[in-house]
């Protein structure tokens, strides 16, 4: 199974380097090698261990980004975008940042053509931000194309307790698809803080997708 790399955001002062930790994990526990896939348009990015160093071009201020990925020895990960704001303005306020991953999923097919398939996911919700996150929700969908839209079937809304900065928790659920709905070839799509009930430093890591399901 491929590794997963989370997108992130960071701030940098003009002419000064910024270090951005890269959050990468492998579901099989394989060692990972990180690489920069696309360099930023207005600077340079390099990797040392599990962190990237971004250095803006002389005189540049504004938004920039670069792309990273991971290799587990067999398969490439997804591409993760790292956004950087280069400014000498006052730093933004501390905010939470919820990162969502699915660590396990058990699917039991429907027993008959009119039965209902059962799905038992285990989600990991981690607050990688600098401030605590209040209690919120986690929305779980069954999607045909791995993109959240009006045509997706909602499997459930789960509660997520408040999370202090740097902490994580597991959220487990027992869900059922609609009657006669086959999960084969479908995607499980989950979104934490789906309605943006509270402000976060970055929302690019609020969604996780598993699939296509067998």
- Looking up residue 179, the CATH number of its domain turns out to be 2.60.40.10
Residue 203 lies in a domain: yes
Which residues, 6+ apart, have CB-to-CB distance to 165 below 8 Å?
Answer: 94, 96, 127, 129, 130, 131, 132
Q: Quickly count helices (H) and strands (E) in the chain.
A: 0, 17
Residues 146 and 198 grouped into a single domain: yes
Residues 108 and 197 in one domain: yes
Q: Which two tokens stand for residue 174?
A: 């027992």
What range does the domain containing 169 cover?
98-210
201 within a domain of the structure (yes/no): yes
Residue 76 pairs in a beta bridge with 71
Residues 191 and 102 grouped into a single domain: yes
Is the residue at 91 inside a domain?
no
Residues 80 and 104 in one domain: no
Strands (DSSP E) contained in the chain are 4-5, 8-12, 18-21, 24-25, 33-38, 43-48, 51-56, 62-71, 80-86, 98-108, 118-127, 136-143, 153-160, 168-172, 175-176, 187-192, 207-210
The closest of 101, 106, 113 to 168, measured between CA atoms, is 101
How many other C-beta atoms lie within 10 A of the C-beta of residue 151? 10
**Cα 105 from Cα 57, distance rounded (Å):** 44
In this structure, the answer to whether residues 71 and 114 fall within a common structural domain is no
Answer yes or no: is 113 within a domain.
yes
Structure tokens at 117: 């398939």
Please, are residues 141 and 189 in contact by the beta-carbon 8 Å criterion?
A: yes
Residues 169 and 112 in one domain: yes
Number of domains composing the chain = 2
User: Do 107 and 82 reside in the same domain of the chain?
Assistant: no
Predicted model pTM: 0.60
**Same domain, residue pair 105 and 182:** yes
Q: Residue 204: what pLDDT?
A: 83
* One domain for residues 103 and 199: yes
What is the per-residue pLDDT for 46?
A: 94
Kindly state whether residue 137 falls inside one of the protein's structural domains: yes
* Residue 92 belongs to some domain of the structure: no
CA angle, corner 165, sides to 164 and 168, nearest 5?
70
User: What pLDDT does 111 receive?
Assistant: 83
Choose one of 52, 86, 120: the last residue of a domain: 86
CATH number (domain holding residue 68):
2.60.40.1080
Asked if the structure places residue 173 within a domain, the reply is yes
Residues of the chain below pLDDT 70: 90-92
Pairing of strands 80-86, 8-12: parallel
Answer yes or no: do 80 and 107 share one domain.
no
- Domain-terminating residue out of 27, 56, 86: 86
- Cβ-contact 121, 204 below 8 angstroms: no
Of the residues 61, 86, 111, which one is the last residue of a structural domain?
86
């Amino acid at each position: 199974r491929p590794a997963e790399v989370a997108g992130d955001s960071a701030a940098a002062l003009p002419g000064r380097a910024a270090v951005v930790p890269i959050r990468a994990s492998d579901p099989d526990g394989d060692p990972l090698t990180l690489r920069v896939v696309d360099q930023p348009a207005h600077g340079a990015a390099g990797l040392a261990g599990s962190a990237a160093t971004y250095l803006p071009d002389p005189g540049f201020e504004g938004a920039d980004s670069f792309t990273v990925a991971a290799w587990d020895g067999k398969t490439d990960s997804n591409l993760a975008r790292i956004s950087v704001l280069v400014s000498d303005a006052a730093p933004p306020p501390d905010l939470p940042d919820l990162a969502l991953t699915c660590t396990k999923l058990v699917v039991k097919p429907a027993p008959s053509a009119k039965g209902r398939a059962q799905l038992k996911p285990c989600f990991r919700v981690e607050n990688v931000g600098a401030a605590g996150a209040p209690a919120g929700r986690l929305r779980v969908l069954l999607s045909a194309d791995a993109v959240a839209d009006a045509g997706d079937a909602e499997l459930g809304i789960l509660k997520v307790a408040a999370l202090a900065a740097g902490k994580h928790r597991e959220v487990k659920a027992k869900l059922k698809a609609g009657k006669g709905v086959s999960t084969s070839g479908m995607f499980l799509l989950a979104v934490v803080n789906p309605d943006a009930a509270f402000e976060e430093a970055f929302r690019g890591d609020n969604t996780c997708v598993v699939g296509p399901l067998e």
